[in-house]
Chain A
């Protein structure tokens, strides 16, 4: 079973692992394609793209190709889900948690390049399966996956339902773990008054071929890096950051973003806006990195709002826009050096000012848990 490691697989990975494992597929038989790279695209995807579009979608043909042609052990099934909506922690506080229209339809677009002249899947003895799945509405998922997979995997409805549950559990466990880790990092920063950097991006910017590991260059300068997808959402922290605003009636809950983004349909967009609000408040986040891929239509309307939100509290905001296949190494270098200069120079002041704007009693400072001495990953 081959799964292209693209788009929202980057935030639902463990769902698929958990789901397939629960169906009895041996873990070693679940294969993800490798990280995106130009080489992968050149070697496996060249000439298979049917339309020019943003790189995160375009690169999918390289992933497909790698799974078809580049595996030592041939895969039997290529599973490329059309993920319509996502299980977001903001669900219930926003209008919807849909994916980008390109993200959900990407497989239909990419498969065309493999079917147009000849059926490349069939030629290589591969079954192509592309279930339409609304992961944001768990009650719909068992039936969707059952209908899409029953002929391929010989499933029963009950079995599918159980596996779906297992998938959600696995994903939840993973998210928990990441949030816990983020909390540890934040605690360390709080206790050492050390600045850290928050990344506002879509999940697939964690792919080294899409996000180009820009944040790692700042990490190398000694700044811990958090991603808003995994920011701790524990109640104590949320109350500290948002409590007064909730009590004042400005927002209904810590996860209410209607004050800044009324048309909250898109899952990743919502999370980015929420992340901006957190960054504006949390004292030890002194700098925000915003990544955005070339031609991203979902990000485009959010540029100004996120920046204005983040900068309102003096937090530094740096956008790396128009990311594409090639890593713009030279420009990244200049910008990273500049950012390091300013983060170093202004952080103490930013932390001080932001702390003053929040109520006393930061839960991270009051915790009795022993501090994790060296911040080992």
Chain B
């Protein structure tokens, strides 16, 4: 008998065949990161139920996790694409192009020539999550679409929106934005399929044309109908454009085939290759060594490679817990100017922070005391979030007077007019203001949120420098969370798991996506979920400070560091941060911001306070108006921005407001008594609805640009002028 086993990043598969190649058994199961254990289970079953016999039968492995396990059972390893290609060559001789999309990788195989001179070119992607199964599932999970439904969702016939095809984390953010703008999930998912196919074609063709016939392999291609449709759409389009001759008797779409047993192709290929190799190769040696490795060997191996866990002695961990554990947060060190007891809510300054996941609000007294705070989970519609928030504030302050309103966060521009806020403050400044208020002697504020990493370096009470990572997902909390989710570990338990690890793998600092492949690597070596999480927490400071922040020399920054942002609620991360910073700055003082989550709102309130003190009189519309806000959202071809080729898919949020001027001239007309807020535009031009409005704004912009020229404008205009020059 010959056995082919495929150990993938999320699942294991086996195929058992007779020496003549006749199929006897097969299976496909998830391994939940316990690859070796799953293989052992498979082999035990195969021995018991099908008579797989050590010393007689042959066994071949493939898949990203095969390397280590194979050696333990005497198996030969076949590279997965080699295996897949072997299966394809045998089963589908007419195929010229294969796309295999896996959980964490994607590959294409191009076949050229025929018979003896048939050659193949393989292209694999290993650098990022864009275009892989995880990419789709991650976003679908965020949209709360169950896998069963996702599998049935379609591509054809939906308007498409722009979703980043490069990075799973950004795609998720894009999908979120679309959702908030009221785009139906069907359209978002169709756009996601579009992004996947685009990414595959853009990065994995390298100048080759995918010729018919085409085979689509791997889980995502098999399971997601919409993805198949997207492939058919694009490939037939390419064939038409490039004038690829097609057989006349066949519908072009039928040249793209998705075999039902696609999941087993790699394992089948193993059998295929085994039959070609000399008979003494890959003789099965039984499970003894594998068993030993699972029970003992892996730990020895890991000990050799890894480093200690996040702590060395229980005493050290206790001391840390005393300083930073629940409720302490290193607050002992903070000199707080706040008082919560017996709050006087008769006159307050409001600060609101409309973030991507939560909306927060605080009330300050005229003496800058924090008298109230609340938050609302974002449900994807900023106006609803605002209502929820203001309802709570109203309940707390009752008849109290609102003196000023400051607002920050992603929702600030959208909501400023609607709630009548006095100051709209960019998040960075809000955070810095709050940090400096509590810790006037702070040298650095390090804010690690879900998506952003912000580092603000303070000198003499002002921000001298700040670093933002928002173009790169490494070092942020979302990545940590994403890994935990894949392990099935709830967000609030990451720290518990991480502290449980006695040792952890040495991960490499860098882009989150490279880390992802490093994790696969570590799993292959047998590291467990909690150990990998510990390793991730340990590497996070490096990603934050060095990779995202570009700060190599922490000692130059100073000695007092403030940690804030949601990710620092995770004590394992805090421990890693403290250890890291102290290793660079031995006398560092590190404090977790006591109102870490509300820092943005407090900053907004403080700046609003400053404005009020200078004599500002609030434009706040009042709780009644906000509570009774009526609005409708439109996202349609009519709302697409046409000002530049980017064609942002904007949304119009129309809010009923006393005194609203309406937009009778609009393609999406708006009567008087309503105001329109335009969102999802990516530049100031997009705030303008169409030509009529543009005229005014354009004149305004041009006036500014004329008054304040940009040399690049001149170069763009004159550099390529083709007037004859005097020779």
B421 to chain A, nearest CB (A): 15
Determine which of B201, B682, B705, B716 lies in contact with A220 in the assembled complex, contact meaning CB atoms within 8 Å: B705
B16 to chain A, nearest CB (A): 39
Residues on the A chain within 8 Å of B719, using CB? 10, 13-14, 174
Determine which of A112, A181, A182, A328 lies in contact with B207 in the assembled complex, contact meaning CB atoms within 8 Å: A112
User: A328–B683 Cα gap in the complex (Å)?
Assistant: 11
Stretch at the interface among A80-88, A280-288, A332-340, A352-360: A332-340
Q: Are A21 and B725 in contact (CB under 8 A)?
A: yes
A219 to chain B, nearest CB (A): 5
A10 to chain B, nearest CB (A): 7
Q: Does A375 contact B (CB under 8 A)?
A: yes
User: A241–B710 Cα gap in the complex (Å)?
Assistant: 23
Residues on the A chain within 8 Å of B707, using CB? 222, 374-375
Mark out the residues of chain B between 673 and 715 whose CB falls within 8 Å of any chain A CB in the assembled complex.
682-684, 701, 704-715
Residues on the B chain within 8 Å of A248, using CB? none
Residues on the A chain within 8 Å of B618, using CB? none
User: A35–B713 Cα gap in the complex (Å)?
Assistant: 13
Closest-by-CB residue of A relative to B429 is A341
Residues on the B chain within 8 Å of A346, using CB? 462
Determine which of A37, A113, A226, A337 lies in contact with B426 in the assembled complex, contact meaning CB atoms within 8 Å: A337
Q: Does B646 contact A (CB under 8 A)?
A: yes
Q: Does A22 contact B (CB under 8 A)?
A: yes
A10-B719, A46-B202, A206-B715 as given contacts; A328 in contact with B470, CB under 8 Å: yes
Mark out the residues of chain A between 285 and 344 whose CB falls within 8 Å of any chain B CB in the assembled complex.
303-304, 311, 317, 321-322, 324, 326-331, 334-335, 337-338, 341-342
A2 to chain B, nearest CB (A): 12
Q: Are A224 and B203 in contact (CB under 8 A)?
A: no
Closest-by-CB residue of A relative to B234 is A46
A207 to chain B, nearest CB (A): 8
Secondary structure type dominating chain A contacts: helix
B202 to chain A, nearest CB (A): 6
B489 to chain A, nearest CB (A): 29
Q: Are A219 and B705 in contact (CB under 8 A)?
A: yes
User: A220–B466 Cα gap in the complex (Å)?
Assistant: 22
Q: Does B550 contact A (CB under 8 A)?
A: yes
Q: Are B201 and A46 in contact (CB under 8 A)?
A: yes
Residues on the A chain within 8 Å of B550, using CB? 303
B443 to chain A, nearest CB (A): 16
Residues on the B chain within 8 Å of A338, using CB? 426, 428-429, 466
Q: Does B304 contact A (CB under 8 A)?
A: no
Q: Are B164 and A326 in contact (CB under 8 A)?
A: yes
User: A219–B470 Cα gap in the complex (Å)?
Assistant: 22
Determine which of A32, A181, A182, A377 lies in contact with B706 in the assembled complex, contact meaning CB atoms within 8 Å: A377
Closest-by-CB residue of B relative to A335 is B468
Q: Are A181 and B704 in contact (CB under 8 A)?
A: no
Q: Does B206 contact A (CB under 8 A)?
A: yes
Residues on the A chain within 8 Å of B552, using CB? 304
A47-B205, A338-B426 as given contacts; A375 in contact with B723, CB under 8 Å: no
Q: Are B706 and A376 in contact (CB under 8 A)?
A: yes
User: A207–B462 Cα gap in the complex (Å)?
Assistant: 35
Closest-by-CB residue of A relative to B412 is A337
Which one of B127, B164, B466, B722 has the greatest number of beta carbons of chain A within 10 Å? B722
Closest-by-CB residue of B relative to A377 is B709
Q: Are A178 and B714 in contact (CB under 8 A)?
A: yes
Mark out the residues of chain B between 216 and 258 whose CB falls within 8 Å of any chain A CB in the assembled complex.
238
A178-B711, A375-B709 as given contacts; A22 in contact with B166, CB under 8 Å: no
Q: Are A334 and B712 in contact (CB under 8 A)?
A: no
A224-B710, A226-B711 as given contacts; A377 in contact with B724, CB under 8 Å: no
Total B residues in contact with A, Cβ cutoff 8 Å: 56
User: A375–B714 Cα gap in the complex (Å)?
Assistant: 13
Q: Are A327 and B682 in contact (CB under 8 A)?
A: yes
Interface string of A44-65 (1 = CB under 8 A from B): 0011111110000000000000
Interface string of A207-246 (1 = CB under 8 A from B): 0100100011101111111110010000000000000000
A206-B716, A322-B472 as given contacts; A225 in contact with B709, CB under 8 Å: yes
Q: Does B208 contact A (CB under 8 A)?
A: yes
User: A28–B684 Cα gap in the complex (Å)?
Assistant: 35
User: A311–B684 Cα gap in the complex (Å)?
Assistant: 30
Stretch at the interface among A128-136, A162-170, A262-270, A361-369: A162-170
User: A215–B710 Cα gap in the complex (Å)?
Assistant: 8
B640 to chain A, nearest CB (A): 14
User: A342–B433 Cα gap in the complex (Å)?
Assistant: 13
Q: Are B705 and A47 in contact (CB under 8 A)?
A: no
A322-B472, A342-B463 as given contacts; A162 in contact with B727, CB under 8 Å: yes
Q: Are B429 and A375 in contact (CB under 8 A)?
A: no
Residues on the B chain within 8 Å of A224, using CB? 708-710
User: A150–B238 Cα gap in the complex (Å)?
Assistant: 37
Q: Does A18 contact B (CB under 8 A)?
A: yes
Q: Are A181 and B202 in contact (CB under 8 A)?
A: no
Which one of B166, B426, B468 has the greatest number of beta carbons of chain A within 10 Å? B426
User: A321–B721 Cα gap in the complex (Å)?
Assistant: 30
Q: Are A334 and B427 in contact (CB under 8 A)?
A: yes
Q: Are B709 and A27 in contact (CB under 8 A)?
A: no
Mark out the residues of chain A between 143 and 173 whose CB falls within 8 Å of any chain B CB in the assembled complex.
162, 166, 169-170, 173
Determine which of A173, A324, A329 lies in contact with B682 in the assembled complex, contact meaning CB atoms within 8 Å: A329
Q: Are A13 and B720 in contact (CB under 8 A)?
A: yes
Q: Does A68 contact B (CB under 8 A)?
A: no
Q: Are B426 and A334 in contact (CB under 8 A)?
A: yes
Closest-by-CB residue of A relative to B238 is A47
- What are 24 A-B pairs at a CB distance below 8 A? A13-B720, A18-B725, A27-B723, A30-B722, A46-B205, A47-B209, A47-B238, A48-B207, A50-B207, A170-B725, A178-B714, A181-B714, A199-B712, A219-B704, A220-B684, A222-B704, A222-B708, A223-B708, A322-B471, A330-B470, A334-B468, A338-B466, A377-B705, A377-B706
User: Which 4 pairs between the two chains have the least Cβ-Cβ distance?
Assistant: A329-B682, A331-B470, A337-B426, A225-B710
Task: Other than A27-B722, A46-B201, A374-B706, give 15 A-B pairs with Cβ distance below 8 A.
Answer: A21-B725, A47-B206, A50-B206, A185-B711, A215-B710, A217-B684, A219-B708, A219-B710, A221-B704, A222-B708, A224-B710, A226-B711, A338-B429, A375-B707, A376-B709
